[in-house]
Amino acid sequence: MTRLTRLCRAMGVGLAVVAATLSMTQVAHAALAPPTLPPGTENIAAPTGQVFLVGHAKGVQKYTCDGAKWVLPSVPQADLVDDAGKLIVTHFGGPTWQATADDSAVKGTVQQRALSPAAGPTIDWLLLSTAPADGSPTTGLLVGTKFIQRVETQGGTAPPAAACKPQTLNKVHEVPYKADYYFYK
């Protein structure tokens, strides 16, 4: 085998490896699809950006009795997992989302609400704008997040007002909920 033949074969193998790597990189960085918003929920569509992360949440909404009604002092507690069931983000008061891999975190502000189309009592669907959480690293999974959507909610609504009375003043009631969260950059 001549030196030129070996060089051509080596270059051919190298080009094949590069082509395969680039094709896998394109698949790995393909944008995720945003949720399908049914009629009546279009107002929570993200105005810009692409979905880069989807988390399926399971947790609780914490309500406190003020003596007359149950109020939500913005204290959710939930774990968000990916499609494989791996924990990727924790969600807690603020409201704040923190990546488990690198502690990057964002704090959300509600921009729009939509009534959940699900049957039964369930919390609203939301569009939130975000800002870096205090003390969050400047690099990481959630850095650059612009919007978060909460959709496909189940449960999480406040207990009946009648259950809030002077005897339960300042008592906290945790209501289980599930939701999907879409993160946009």
Query: Could you give the CA distance from residue 63 to residue 60 in angstroms, rounded to a whole number?
Result: 9
pLDDT of residue 3: 54
Answer whether residue 176 is part of any domain.
Answer: yes
Q: What pLDDT is recorded for position 9?
A: 53
**What is the value of pTM for the model shown?**
0.82
For residues 92 and 76, the answer to whether their CB atoms sit within 8 Å is yes
- Spell out the residues 6+ positions from residue 166 whose beta carbon is closer than 8 angstroms to its own: 67
Spatial contact of 111 and 131, defined as CB atoms under 8 Å apart? no
Instruction: Report the DSSP beta bridge partners of residue 126.
Output: 113, 150
40, part of any domain: no
Asked if the structure places residue 124 within a domain, the reply is yes
160 found inside a domain:
yes
Block means of pLDDT (10 residues each) for the chain, length 185 residues?
50 41 41 93 95 98 92 86 98 95 97 94 96 95 98 94 91 95 98
pLDDT, position 24: 36
Q: How far apart are CA 102 and CA 105, in angstroms?
A: 9
79: β partners: 58, 90
pLDDT value for 72: 78
Query: Cα-Cα-Cα-Cα dihedral of 124, 169, 162, 157, to 10°?
Result: 20
pLDDT score at 85: 98
7 found inside a domain: no
Q: Are strands 70-71 and 105-114 parallel, antiparallel or unpaired?
A: unpaired
Residue 24 is assigned to a structural domain of this protein? no
Q: How many domains does the chain have?
A: 1
Asked if residues 119 and 127 have their Cβ atoms less than 8 Å apart, the reply is: no
Range of the domain at 121: 50-184
One-character DSSP codes across 17-32? HHHHHHHHHHHHTPPB
Q: Where are the alpha helices (DSSP H) in the chain?
A: 3-28
pLDDT, position 30:
63
**Does 155 reside within a domain?**
yes
pLDDT at 120: 87
Inside any domain, residue 38: no
* Structural element, H or E, at residue 78: strand 76-81
